[in-house]
Amino acid sequence: MEQLLPRFLDYVTTDTQSDPYSKTTPSTEKQWDLAKKLVMELHQIGMQEVSIDENAYIMATLPSNTDKKVPTIGFISHMDTSPDFSGRNVKPQIVKNYDGKDIVLNKTKNIVLSPDYFEDLLQYEGQTLITTDGNTLLGADDKAGVAEIVTAMEYLVQHPEIKHGKIRIAFTPDEEIGRGAHKFDVKKFGADWAYTMDGSQVGELEFENFNAAKAKITITGKSVHPGYAKNKMVNAIGIANEFLSLMPPREVPEHTSGMEGFFHVHKIKGEIEKTEIELIIRDHDAIQFQARKEMLEDITEKLIKKYGDYVTLHIEDQYKNMREKVEPVFHIVEIAEEAMKRLGIEPIIKPIRGGTDGSQLSFMGLPCPNIFAGGHNFHGKYEYIPLESMEKAVKVIVKICELTASQIK
């Protein structure tokens, strides 16, 4: 594990923030900086068939070292960080032997990581935490996963006594903007199944995620001098406000958990002549997911009847719940669960309240549950990760490779 921490710190200090408004792949040129570094490193640790394509998708192989006919399995993580918060000039702080008290991230700005608010911190008393300096995100999502996969492969290369089948690994761009699997070559990857290392706390094992869509409501108006506006002005801002008032106020991220779906308005831009609302729709249940989309259509129709053709709605599906593709091959979840148990890790099997490359990949023919990478509070200045959690993730990868081979007679 000696290389795990310096490897992770090297990755997170390389800016790879993705851009949802870019039309290129990768969406930002700077993602190539880490991609090229990873290609060199994979060669150095002894991986074979290392490749990188024109879209910065990296693949590599650890050949089988057993005479058994073992399924080819894969491990996948993404290189980019979220556009929601700055990923530039990341300066990680290392807190050794965490004492369970407040951690001052930035004294000047009075930014404090406190267990009074983030109760999960108390699980890691006595451990080594890597945090931000309060100015950026950390990037453990998902550079922790990248570091864990590389470290696990390096360990297996150096320990040929651990028998395993053919292992494929891949690192992708643009997961944070929903495009991580768009140009993933499943056939080239050639695995029977895979695991994304992109979960949060130790023990997380997920094979179910949200059905997801994004929606944009555009309202056009007519600007008239307010002193003479009666029966003439059409205020797009007012209609936008009415649209939002017709949506269920409690079905939002801040009031939902577990299997509960939601609407999340994340952007409003408006003037009298034109107002735009952007939101996302999430639900684990396919029927409820469809009902949510129909609700927005009904509100749009209601406002058109009231005001005229000033309101338009565009809904675009993003990804589906991977459960239907993983359940028929549920042994791939059971192998990961058994690996954790043998390492003394309590599996936490729960649905992802979000998305994952594994969802798209599962529907592309590569069943792909998600495993913890160890971080917390992603996409913001309070992000942190315990070093011990990363070490456990490395061990889980190694154990999955070992178990997959040992179960074949």
Instruction: Indicate the pairing of strand 370-372 with strand 193-199.
Output: parallel
| In the block, residue with structure tokens 């490897």 | 7
In whole angstroms, give the CA distance from residue 373 to residue 380: 17
Both 216 and 248 in one domain: the answer is: yes
**42 and 130 co-located in one domain:** yes
Give me the domain span that covers residue 381.
Answer: 4-208+321-406
Model pLDDT for residues 294-340, shown as the tens digit of each residue: 999 999 999 999 999 999 999 999 889 999 999 999 999 999 999 99
Please name which of 98, 85, 75, 185 lies closest in space to residue 140, comparing C-alpha atoms: 85
CATH number of the domain encompassing residue 347: 3.40.630.10
Query: In terms of Cα–Cα distance, which of 332, 343, 382, 324 is closest to 135?
Result: 382
Say whether both 195 and 248 belong to one domain.
no
What CATH number is associated with residue 303? 3.30.70.360
Indicate whether 159 and 169 sit together in one domain: yes
Do 195 and 220 sit in the same domain of this protein?
Answer: no
Identify the segments of the chain with pLDDT beneath 50: none
287/265 Cα distance (integer angstroms): 21
pTM equals 0.87
Identify whether residues 13 and 31 lie together within a single domain. yes
Q: Decide which of 296, 319, 342 is a domain's last residue.
A: 319
Q: Are residues 376 and 391 in the same domain?
A: yes
- Same-domain pairing of 277 and 192: no
Catalytic residue among 15, 19, 41, 80: 80
- Rounded to whole angstroms, the Cα distance separating 255 from 375 reads 23
**In DSSP terms, which residues pair with 383 in a beta bridge?**
none
pLDDT number for residue 357: 85
Same-domain pairing of 14 and 152: yes
Q: Are residues 8 and 116 in the same domain?
A: yes
User: Residue 99 catalytic?
Assistant: no
pLDDT value at residue 409:
59
* Token pair for 129: 């935490």
From 252, 285, 319, the end of a domain falls on 319
Tell me the two tokens of residue 284.
């684990």
**Do 105 and 133 touch, CB atoms closer than 8 A?**
yes
User: 222 with 325, same domain?
Assistant: no
Phi, psi of 192 (to 5 degrees): -75, -35
The answer on 199 and 73 residing in a single domain is yes
In DSSP terms, which residues pair with 81 in a beta bridge? 17
- Environment class of 378 (CB within 10 Å of its CB; exposed 0-12, middle 13-18, buried 19+): buried
Q: Catalytic annotation on 80?
A: yes
Structurally, the chain folds into a number of domains equal to 2
Token readout for 134 is 């309060």
99: left (phi over 0), alpha (psi -120 to 50) or beta: alpha
Place of tokens 């490193």: 41
Q: Which of 259, 286, 319 is the last residue before a domain boundary?
A: 319
Point out the catalytic residue in the list 19, 142, 175, 176: 175
